[in-house]
Amino acid sequence: MNVSYALRLFCICSATFFFVNALLSFAVKFVSKAAIRVAEKMRPRSASHFLLGVRLLPFALGLSAVLGLCIPSYLWLEPQATAERVGWVFLTFALFGALVCALSIGRAVRAVAVSNRYNRAWLKEGHEDRLTTEDSNAVIVENNVPLLAVAGVYRPRLMISEGVLRSLSAEQLAVALRHEKAHCGSRDNLKRLLLLLVPDAIPFVSSLSSLDREWSKFSEWAADDEAVQGDARRALSLAEALLRVARMGAGPQLSFLHTSLVAADQDLSARVDRLLSLEPARFESLPWKRFVTGASFLLLSASVAALMLLPATLSSVHRLLELFLH
C-alpha cells in the first residue's frame, strides 16, 4: 500500500465519519428534549443507560460506517495505481473530521492528567485505610476540604477528607459511602471518559451538552436510590450528609473524571427533595423486556453485518464515495 493510497483512505474515513457523526448529532439534538422526557418516566438507572446510549449513537454509527462500509469498499474496489483529484468540500470535511477527533482525544487526555495530578497529591498528603463503617478501603486526605469522591477510571478509589469524616455521623457516613460505591459498581467514571472521547458534531461546539447534564443527574439519582434501597431512615441520613458536606464550603475543582458526593454543577435541592419524599419506583424491570431488547439488538446487529458484507452494498458505497471525493 503506497502512501498516497493510504492517505486518501484516511481522508475518506475522516470525511465520512464527520458527515455521519454531524448529521446524526444534529438529529439527536432535535429529539433530545423528547428523549429526556422519555427518560424522566424511567427509573434513574435505566434513564442513565438510555441517555448514554442516545448520546453515543452518532459516534457509534459514524464509526460503524467507516469500519463496516468505507474501508472494505475502498480496499476491495479502489485500485492502488490511480491518482485522483479531490474537491474542496471533501477536503474540508476530512479536516473537520480529523479536528473533532483530535479535540475529543485532547479533552480526554487533559481530564486524565488533571485527575492523576489530584490523585497523586491526595495520596501524598493522605494515607489508605479501611473504614469500619462500610468495611471499605479509602484514601483519607489530611485536610478539611469537603472531599468525598470516586477517583480513577479502571481501578476507582474512594477519596475522603478528614474534615468530612469529622462532620458526618456514622450513619450518614455509611450511606454516603454506599452512594460512592454505587458509582464504582456502575463504572460511572469510565462512562465519563467515554463522553469526553465522543467527538462533537462540529469543532469547538458542544451540541449535546444537555444530554450530558441529564445523564449526570440521573446517575446521581441512581446512586442515591441504590444507597438508600427504599429505606426512609437511610434516605434522611443521605440527605443530611449532602447538606453537611455542601455547607462545608467550596471544594476543590475536580476533574470531570471524579464522581463527587456533592458536585458543583448538580441541583442539590432536587436530590434532597427526592430523598425526603422517597417516592416508590413507578416501573418494574421485567425479565421478558430485557430478553426482547437483547434479542432485538442481536437481530439488528446480524442484519447490519449481513448487509455490509454484500458485494452490491460495498459497490454502491464505493460509487457514493467517488461522488463525494469530487
If residue 253 lies in a helix (H) or strand (E), which one and from where to where? none
Short-list 93, 147, 94, CA closest to 122:
147
More confident residue, 257 or 281: 257
Segment 116-134, tens digit of pLDDT:
998 888 888 888 888 766 6
Q: Determine the Cα–Cα distance for residues 64 and 52; give it in Å rounded to an integer.
A: 18
Domain locations in the chain as residue ranges: 3-282+298-325
Q: Determine the Cα–Cα distance for residues 83 and 302; give it in Å rounded to an integer.
A: 36
How many residues would you count in the chain?
Answer: 326
Short-list 77, 76, 62, CA closest to 16:
62
- Report yes or no: 51 and 36 within 8 Å, Cβ to Cβ: yes
Q: What percent of the chain has pLDDT over 70?
A: 79
The mean pLDDT of 89-95, rounded to a whole number, is 86
E strands, the chain, in order: 126-131, 136-141, 148-151, 157-161, 259-260
More confident residue, 67 or 239: 239
Of 134-138, 205-209, 244-248, 253-257, where does mean pLDDT reach its minimum? 134-138
The mean pLDDT of 289-294, rounded to a whole number, is 50
pLDDT band at 283 (very low <50, low <70, confident <90, very high): very low
pLDDT band at 267 (very low <50, low <70, confident <90, very high): confident
Burial per residue of 111-129, b for 16 or more beta-carbon CB atoms within 10 angstroms, e otherwise: bbebbeebbeebeeebeee
In the structure grid, which three cell numbers stand for residue 154, read together?
Answer: 479502571
Q: What percent of the chain has pLDDT over 90?
A: 44
